[in-house]
Amino acid sequence: MKILIATSNPGKIIEISALLKALPVDLIMPKEIGILTTPEETGSTYTENAMLKARFYFEYSHLPTLADDTGLEIDLLGGQPGLHSARFSPIRNARDTDRRKLLLEKLAGSPKPWTAHFICIVALVDSNGEMFTAKGQCDGEIIAEERGNNGFGYDPLFLFPHLGKTMAELDLDEKNQISHRALAIKAIFPRLSKMLSV
């Protein structure tokens, strides 16, 4: 069976491919089947955005589709950047480095620890067009200096205090044990398995 992974983010593709490697599926990316457009993320929650993306790509491809919406929430900033994590910087075509720089500017001078949470909602549209969702969350702290060369996004600033490592210092196997995306994928894994066994 083919499953469309509704992202063009290479980091997400690597992680999700590794998490689903035990399943007898071919993972397809939108551009591989000529889908070059993306939906506008107009939802007011992670769940709404994940479902919106999953439905959009399912209707384009007629393939079972897995999408996610992810955000970083920092307690000191009232949950920001949250839903707008990927669009946090006002700079046009901002890069991950621009977003991380702005985040540290907003936190500068505030008392530590800067407790934070990564949230991920995955949405699956199965072969029949039925929608399922699952959530993953991991908790940690934001640190003032970037560490690690793995991962993407805010990973170099997100520390797991009990490990003494940032998300970007974990290798892929380690990350896929404890990350928000890994936990969400694992939570929806039974539904994927059931879909494949029908």
How many Cβ atoms are within 10 Å of 145's Cβ, its own excluded?
8
- Structural domains in the chain, CATH included, are 2-197 (3.90.950.10)
pLDDT (tens digit, 9 = 90+) per residue, 79-98?
Answer: 999 999 988 999 988 999 99
Structure tokens at 149: 């060369």
Residue 197 pLDDT exceeds 90: no
Residue 11: band (very low, low, confident or very high) from pLDDT cuts 50, 70, 90: confident
Cα separation, 61 vs 172, in Å, equals 29
| Residue 69 appears among annotated catalytic residues | yes
Check whether 182 has a pLDDT greater than 90: yes
Q: What is the pLDDT of residues 51-90, one digit of tens each?
A: 999 999 999 999 999 999 999 999 999 999 999 998 899 9
User: pLDDT tens digits, residue range 165-178?
Assistant: 999 999 999 999 99
Cα distance between residue 167 and residue 148, in whole Å: 8
pLDDT tens digit string along 123-171? 999 999 999 999 999 999 999 999 999 989 999 999 999 999 999 999 9
Nearest residue to 61 via CA among 38, 24, 23, 34: 34
User: Considering 26, 68, 69, 98, which one is annotated as catalytic?
Assistant: 69
The answer to whether 158 touches 178, Cβ cutoff 8 Å, is no
Q: How far apart are CA 26 and CA 33, in angstroms?
A: 13
Residue 122: CB atoms within 10 Å: 30
Task: Give the pLDDT mean for 172-196.
Answer: 94
- For 138, phi then psi, to 5°, come to -130, 145
Q: Is the pTM of this model over 0.75?
A: yes
